Amino acid sequence: MRIRTGFIVVASMLAAGCGGGGGDGPPPPPKGPVPTNPVAGGTPASQGYEVVAVNGGGKVTGKVTWTGGTHTPAPLEVTKDVEVCKHPGAVDETFTVDNASKGVANVVVFIAKIDKGKALGKGGTLDNKGCLFQPHVVLHVAKAGALTIHNSDPVNHNTHLFPSKNDDFNRMIASQKSEAYEADRAEKGPMKVACDIHGWMRAWVWVVDHPYYELSGKDGSFSLADVPAGSWQLAAWHGAKEAIVKGPTVTVAAGQAATVALDMAPDGTLAWK
């Protein structure tokens, strides 16, 4: 009986030491919500980025131009739920080219490094619609709120994200339902997104560390707004090559716009002009 009593006493002492109940060791981390930045209207600042008032901000504008001939996207091979998934818009979205303007959509243009500036904005949204992920590329600022993943289709989808720094996400999403994905750590590049039910569905989600990232639109144009005056290193990314392409350093004057341009070759190579 003495042996058992001694064991209990020692075990209790060890448990107290591991649990931090005594005075030894560093104090536990504080609990509670992430501190907010009042300039951002209560939006938590992303790690390493400070939200400040941008007075006399400028812009970086430009266009991504297709250098090849007429581009016709290939139809996707739809093998399941064809009554919902097989439609004219079910095409390969690797390249989204507007042949009239020669513009290329879904190119990410961004300031490579900036530690303070405009508010983070709201969390991104990824929809399962027409058995496609819409939009094809989602930009989501870390700590700007949860990424909303919705299913607008009358069939179920399994949305599967492949992050390197954030938690895994692989969930069934029923028709007309949504899930929230908490992604508070910036990724070095976009994470791939797949639907394990409909194998042709592909997209990208990039969890970024500041709000100065923009997607080129249908006509290839893009605009980074509310940029603090100064000199900034630009960069770009597109899913065809999955590579970040370093761009020029541009000087943004207060209230003015700096203009840049990119070309995209038919193999997906990006080149700054």
Q: CB count, 10 Å around CB of 16?
A: 11
Kindly state the tokens that stand for 159: 């949305």
Spatial separation of the C-alpha atoms in residues 125 and 133, rounded to whole Å: 10
pLDDT at 13: 37
With 0-12 CB in 10 A as exposed, 13-18 as middle and 19+ as buried, what is 132?
buried
What are the Cα distances from residue 255, in Å, to 22, 71, 229? Answer: 58, 37, 8
Strand 169-173 and strand 157-162: the pairing is antiparallel
| 91 DSSP 8-state letter | B
**All residues at 6 or more sequence positions from 209 whose CB lies less than 8 Å from its CB, including other chains:** 46, 47, 48, 49, 141, 142, 186
Per-residue pLDDT of the chain (273 residues; tens, 9 = 90+): 444 444 333 334 333 333 333 333 334 433 433 333 333 333 344 458 999 999 999 999 999 999 999 999 999 999 999 999 999 999 999 999 999 999 999 999 999 999 999 999 999 999 999 999 999 999 999 989 999 999 999 999 999 999 999 999 999 999 999 999 999 899 999 999 999 999 999 999 999 999 999 999 999 999 999 999 999 999 999 999 999 999 999 999 999 999 999 999 999 999 999
The helix or strand, by DSSP H or E, that contains position 85, with its residue range, turns out to be: helix 82-85
pLDDT at 14: 36
Spatial separation of the C-alpha atoms in residues 64 and 206, rounded to whole Å: 20
User: Which residue ranges form the domains of the chain, and what is each CATH number?
Assistant: 56-72+93-115+213-273 (2.60.40.4130), 119-211 (2.60.40.420)
Spatial separation of the C-alpha atoms in residues 152 and 53, rounded to whole Å: 37
pLDDT at 47: 56
Name the pTM for this structure.
0.82
Helix, strand or coil, per DSSP, at residue 93: coil
